[in-house]
Structure formats: structure tokens, C-alpha cells
Amino acid sequence: MVDQLKGIDPRVFDPNYSEPKTQGLNSGRDLITNVKQDFISIVDSKDETLQFEAKVRNETLIVTVKTRGYQGDSEKRHPDLFAAQLVKKSLQFFELQGHSIHKWKDIWSKSGDLNDNYDQFATYLRTHSSNGRELTQAELVEAAKQTWTGQLANLLEFSKVESIDYRPNIGEVVIVFSKV
């Protein structure tokens, strides 16, 4: 999958690594790390909203990631947290710990800082569906596949949208991708 990480010491993913922090390879900032058999957390010590978290529950991967907003600039990405690489490395790590991961669950919200996927999903629906009629399941699935997470899920062989619960009234999507 991936052996090199651009911004993080790969020893963080060694089960015997016990340091509570590491230094970002690009930023030089301290990154607080917490790695267990079924949980990985990497957080910027100067801005705890910049984070990567992955966990396994019931053969399901659950990821939370926020890399944009570095040094207060809403468009600037964290120079050490490369989300796609971290997701791939986390999957590899969890599988080495004996976990079988068959699903990837995610929650996209309109509010807050973690809204990229929701925005991509909603934009696709606005530009590819007819106004005034109820959206079809196929349209929802296609919109989900167009998001950053949907594209990465497909690349990592989570190519089936097992379930999608779109709640436009509260601005939320709960989605589960699965391996075919």
C-alpha cells in the first residue's frame, strides 16, 4: 500500500513505538500521537483542530480528518498531515493487527470545519439533478462517489455504497462504503 509518509515518522505506526509525540517532518511542529491496536490519533500540538483519527469498530473503518486551516489560513493544508497517505497507512496497520476491515463509515456535516465532503456531495446534487423532484438513490450514490472520501474509498476497494442516509434538513450525510 504505502510505506513512506511525507510528513510523519513511520515509526509512529510501529506497535512498539511508545512516544506520546513526534516531530512533523515538514513543519517541525510537535504532533501528539496515540496509536493502539484499533485506534490512531495524530493531532497538531499548536492547533488541536488539525487532526487525523482512524479507528476500527465491528470490521468498519471510521476516519476523522481535518488538515485545512494551518496557521490560521482556512485554505492552507497542514504540511505533515497527508490524509490519503494516513488512511492507507492506517488500513495497513489495522490489518497487521489482525483486523478484517470490510466497511468504511463516514459522517459528512454541513456545519463546522469538517465539511469538504458534504460540500462536494451537495454541489454535485445541485448541478446534476432536477429541481422540484425527490432525489433517486442512484443520484445520491453517484454524488457520494464524487467526493474526496468516495474517490479514495473506491481506490482502496471500498467501491460499493452499502448505505446512504441523506438528511438535507439538518445538513448531514451518513454513508457506509463496503468492499465488493
The per-residue pLDDT for 130 is 67
pLDDT of res. 118 = 93
d(CA 150, CA 159): 8
Report pLDDT digits (tens) over 50-65.
999 999 999 999 999 9
State the Cα–Cα distance between residues 149 and 62, nearest whole angstrom.
11
For every one of its 180 residues, what pLDDT tens digit does the chain have, with 9 covering 90 and above? 445 688 999 999 988 888 899 999 999 999 999 999 999 999 999 999 899 999 999 999 999 998 888 888 888 899 999 999 999 999 999 999 999 999 999 999 987 666 889 999 999 998 887 666 788 999 999 999 999 999 999 999 999 999 999 999 999 999 999 998
Q: How far is CA 144 from CA 26, 65, 160, 165, in A?
A: 32, 17, 11, 11
Residue 121: predicted pLDDT: 95
The position carrying cell 438528511 is: 167
Global pTM reads 0.90
Query: Can you tell me the distance from the alpha carbon of 156 to that of 152, in angstroms, rounded to the nearest whole number?
Result: 6
pLDDT of residue 138: 93
Residue 158's nearest CA partner among 111, 89, 88, 53 is: 88
List, in order, residues 6 or more apart from 68 with CB less than 8 Å away.
74, 75, 76, 77, 78, 113, 116
Angle (CA) 91-82-120 rounded to 5° is 90
The rounded distance, in Å, linking the Cα atoms of 118 and 109 is 6
What would the pLDDT profile of 141-153 be if each residue is shown by its tens digit?
999 999 999 999 9
* 8 Å CB contact between 67 and 50: yes
Contacts of 100 (CB under 8 A, 6+ apart): 59
The C-alpha atoms of residue 78 and residue 30 are separated, in whole angstroms, by 12
